[in-house]
A and B are shown apart, each in its own frame.
Chain A
Amino acid sequence: GDSVTQMEGPVTLSEEAFLTINCTYTATGYPSLFWYVQYPGEGLQLLLKATKADDKGSNKGFEATYRKETTSFHLEKGSVQVSDSAVYFCALKDDYQLIWGAGTKLIIKP
């Protein structure tokens, strides 16, 4: 069945560092891909999405490009802030349900 694999955390970076969180997927169809973020004590918030190959989703300085040839949707940000500390989830949706990665905890130190 469809699945999502994320790099394990926690990922610890200094403020202003470059961020990459890897996400790869397995799907039989042509899913939409999503990144959700969960800040401490809060729910799941959509960060960005892409619905077809080569689409780039972006929001709040974060970007991810839907790469069909490598079945990847890596999350990047050029300069992270302490406020970006959260758990980041990669997910795919082929029909009704979202299928989730395990989540990657990001810790940004001042």
Chain B
Amino acid sequence: EPEVTQTPSHQVTQMGQEVILRCVPISNHLYFYWYRQILGQKVEFLVSFYNNEISEKSEIFDDQFSVERPDGSNFTLKIRSTKLEDSAMYFCASSEGSGRGGDTQYFGPGTRLTVL
């Protein structure tokens, strides 16, 4: 069964460093997403991406964050200068469509980011 994959599973970085989290969405999916979950808190939406453009982003997704689809398979989240509060589990997801018609988002296993 096709699945979303993410690498690395755990990333440790120093405050102020740049990190890139990588995701390979399901191959025929057109919409891509990033979410994060700070330990003990709710899952939060960061950004959605379609046709090489951001389609929606939350208030969390400020200028420190960027997303890219550098080739036909990868989808990346870059944090330019990490802060302690960026420590969280980051989930990538993909879906065939984005509409309310029940398009399901399929999630990867997550990358745990620890900022020291």
Chain A interfacial positions (CB closer than 8 Å to B): 29-32, 34, 36, 42-46, 49-51, 89, 91, 93-103
A-B contact count (CB 8 A): 64
Q: Does B102 contact A (CB under 8 A)?
A: yes
**How distant is the Cα of A29 from the Cα of B109 in the complex, in angstroms?**
30
Contacts of B48 in A (CB 8 A): 96-97
Contact B43–A97 (Cβ < 8 Å): no
**How distant is the Cα of A91 from the Cα of B91 in the complex, in angstroms?**
15
> Which B-chain residue is minimally distant from A41 (CB atoms)?
B109
Chain B interfacial positions (CB closer than 8 Å to A): 31, 33, 35, 41-45, 48, 55-56, 58, 91, 93, 98-110
**How distant is the Cα of A100 from the Cα of B45 in the complex, in angstroms?**
9
12 contacts between A and B (CB under 8 A): A29-B100, A34-B104, A46-B104, A49-B102, A93-B100, A94-B100, A96-B55, A96-B98, A97-B58, A98-B33, A98-B45, A100-B42
A32-B55 contact, Cβ under 8 Å, with A98-B45, A101-B42: no
Contact A102–B101 (Cβ < 8 Å): no
Contact B102–A51 (Cβ < 8 Å): yes
> Which A-chain residue is minimally distant from B89 (CB atoms)?
A43
